[in-house]
Each structure stands twice: as C-alpha cells, then as structure tokens.
C-alpha cells in the first residue's frame, strides 16, 4: 500500500462522485483489517507506527469519500480546482436572496417554537440539497465541468450549514 495514493485508489474505487457507498464500506473494512494497529501489537516500533499512519490515512479517506460534499471537494482538489471557500464568498444575488428567505423562515419558526414548521423546512431543504447533489454528480462525472461544479459545491456548503442550523433549532425545541 502507498500512503501517497489518492483516497479512491486506496479503496480501489473509480474516481467519481457517484459512489456505491456499500462498496466503499466494504473496501474500508478490508483495508482496516489489513492495517489496524491491533494486528501489529507485537511488531517492531516502526511497524506499529506505520500501521497507525495507515489506519489514520484509511479513516481520513473513508470519512472524506462517504460524505457527498467532502467527496466533491476532494474530487475538485484532485482536478486542481480550489473552491476558495475562505476567501471567495461572492454568490449570485438570487442565491443570496433565497438564503435570506430560508434564514428568515427558520428564525420565525424557531422564535415561535414551531416544531412542525421547522420539520417542514428541514424536509424541503433536504429535498433541495438532494437534487443539487444529483446535478453535482452530472457535472463531475458526466460533463467533467469542474468550474460549474466548484460553484455548486460552494452553494451546497451554505445549504448544508443551513440544514445543520435547522437541525440545531429542532434539537433546542426538544430540550
């Protein structure tokens, strides 16, 4: 095994956004079985250290590939496209307006302790995100359009954060 191999190669998977997640799980378990530190308990210090590095690398790879947003960012990174999340926050005006409307609706529902409305918003946003991931799969796997995919990833980062905020609002009402 090669510690410099990309995450897809590590699990012998195609370099694609659309992954078979059960296959990823299976390949991860296979790799973990080979490199788990418990297998090297009686090995030399160097072998134990290497096994720990491998186990860490495999865990990082698995965590990245199993989450669609992280997988998309990683694919763009491999293609040489920096999403510039930290220093490029420019977004189209219509997307920003949509974000403001979502946030206002969440604030109102949270302020009114309207559990039903928050659940409704959560499900609507989940469906929106799902369709955007379908589009992202087409951009990355079929059209190989990294520039447009980068824009969609940046938008999905906003939407995933909003989904987390709705989930947090729902949890706060349950406390």
Q: Is the pLDDT of residue 3 over 80?
A: no
| pLDDT tens per residue, range 40-69 | 888 999 998 999 999 999 999 999 999 999
User: By the 8 A CB rule, do 173 and 118 touch?
Assistant: yes
Q: Which two tokens stand for residue 20?
A: 């078979």
Instruction: Evaluate whether 7-66 and 93-174 have a shared fold.
Output: no
**97 vs 82, higher pLDDT:** 97
CA distance 48 to 9: 23
pLDDT score for 4? 80
| Cα–Cα distance for residue pair 9/57, rounded to 1 Å | 12
Domain boundaries, the chain: 7-66, 93-174
Q: Quote the pTM value.
A: 0.90
- 2 Cβ contact partners less than 8 Å away, ≥ 6 residues apart: 9
Class for the domain spanning 93-174: mainly alpha
Please state the rounded mean pLDDT for residues 85-112: 90
Give residue 1's pLDDT band: very low, low, confident or very high (50, 70, 90). Answer: low
Phi/psi region, residue 88 (left: phi>0; alpha: psi -120 to 50; beta: rest), is: beta
CATH 1.10.287.110 holds for 7-66: yes
Report percent pLDDT > 70 for the chain.
98
Q: pLDDT of 67-88, one tens digit each?
A: 999 999 999 999 999 887 777 6
pLDDT of residue 41: 87
The mean pLDDT of 22-50, rounded to a whole number, is 92
Predicted confidence at residue 91, as pLDDT, reads: 87
């Amino acid at each position: 095994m090669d510690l410099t191999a990309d995450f897809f190669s590590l699990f012998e998977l195609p370099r694609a956004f659309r992954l078979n997640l059960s296959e990823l799980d299976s390949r991860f378990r296979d790799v973990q079985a080979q490199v788990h530190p418990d297998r090297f308990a009686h090995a030399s210090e160097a072998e134990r250290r290497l096994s720990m590095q491998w186990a860490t690398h495999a865990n990082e790879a698995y965590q990245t590939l199993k989450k669609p947003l992280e997988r998309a960012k990683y694919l763009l990174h491999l293609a040489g496209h920096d999403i510039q999340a930290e220093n490029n926050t420019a977004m189209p005006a219509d997307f920003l307006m949509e974000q403001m409307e979502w946030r206002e609706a969440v604030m109102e529902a949270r302020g009114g302790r309207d559990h039903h409305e928050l659940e409704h918003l959560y499900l609507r946003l989940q469906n929106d995100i799902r369709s955007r991931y379908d589009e992202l799969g087409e951009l990355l796997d079929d059209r190989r359009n990294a520039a447009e995919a980068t824009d969609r990833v940046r938008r999905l980062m906003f939407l995933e954060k909003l989904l987390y905020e709705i989930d947090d609002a729902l949890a706060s009402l349950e406390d």
